[in-house]
Amino acid sequence: MLVQIGFFGLVGSATWVPESVHAQSFIDSCVVQVGLGETYHYWATTGSLVLPVSVSWSENRYEIGAFHFTTQQLLPWPGTHEERHMASPYWGTSLSRRWHLFDRGSVQGYVGFGLSVKTEADVLSVTKWDFASQLGVRFRLHGSPLVGEITMRHWSNAGIRLPNHGQDFATVTIRLNSRLFGFHEAEKIPIDPSLGLNRTLAEDSSRLEEGLLP
């Protein structure tokens, strides 16, 4: 119940926009990304392909994502050829608040924390509502409109109920700039002040008037 209350509180804080913030500014800051991912657990891969779709906004301060874990997750037993069944295919979604860690040119580091919910309970987490944490980097290829993210993610209930091994997975997502979703403020091209557009227009008007006077 506490996790659910926290989730709805996070939804409210993420969707509240002050009156002074225009709707267009909110749209311009949205980033829609798709990609691929894979599950793992400590030392080994658990073999499930993850299909993520995420939306971040407010200068990458918030992210909501939907994730499809397409196959069952199997963890190899060390020193044997046997595998332990950890989870069946399922759908999950998360809502997180992100904080910037650093900015180095075209690379931005971030950490995030929020809440997640999934369609199945399993050995990884006996609860469907979990806490969601993430650590990643956002990057832009030089001279390209391509924007990408590499993110390590962990969902668990913090030991509120057992078993609680936690769902670990990594995602790689990309976004191509498109007017369909608007542009980040940093991607807008300012007018070069040296062009002196206003001054040029005023000079042309003055010359025109001088030519028309007797």
Question: Other CB atoms closer than 10 Å to residue 182's CB: what's the count?
Answer: 20
> What is the SS3 assignment for 99?
strand
Query: Which pLDDT belongs to residue 146?
Result: 85
Q: Please, which pLDDT band fits residue 196 given cuts at 50, 70 and 90?
A: low
pLDDT of residue 161: 93
Q: Report CA-CA distances (Å) from 133 to 126, 181, 198.
A: 18, 26, 50
Domain limits at 140?
2-212
Alpha-carbon span 27 to 108, nearest angstrom: 21
User: For the chain, what is the domain count?
Assistant: 1
pTM, to two decimals: 0.73
**What amino acid occupies position 69?**
F
CB within 8 A of 125, min separation 6: which ones? 118, 155, 156, 157, 163, 164, 165, 166, 167
Rounded alpha-carbon distances, angstroms, from residue 47 to 20, 35, 141: 47, 17, 29
Asked whether the predicted pLDDT for residue 65 surpasses 80, the reply is yes
Residue 143 pLDDT level (bands cut at 50, 70, 90): confident
Structure-token pair, residue 124: 């990884």
Instruction: Give 103's contacts (C-beta < 8 A, 6+ positions apart).
Output: 109
CATH number at residue 200: 2.40.160.20
Task: Report whether pLDDT(183) > 50.
Answer: no
Question: To the nearest 5 percent, what fractions of the chain are helix, strand and coil?
Answer: 20, 50, 30
Dist CA 96 CA 143 (whole Å): 30
- pLDDT of 193 reads 58
163: cis peptide before it, omega within 30°?
yes
Residue 171 has phi, psi (to 5 degrees) of -130, 145
The tens digit of pLDDT for each residue in 97-114 reads 999 999 998 899 999 999
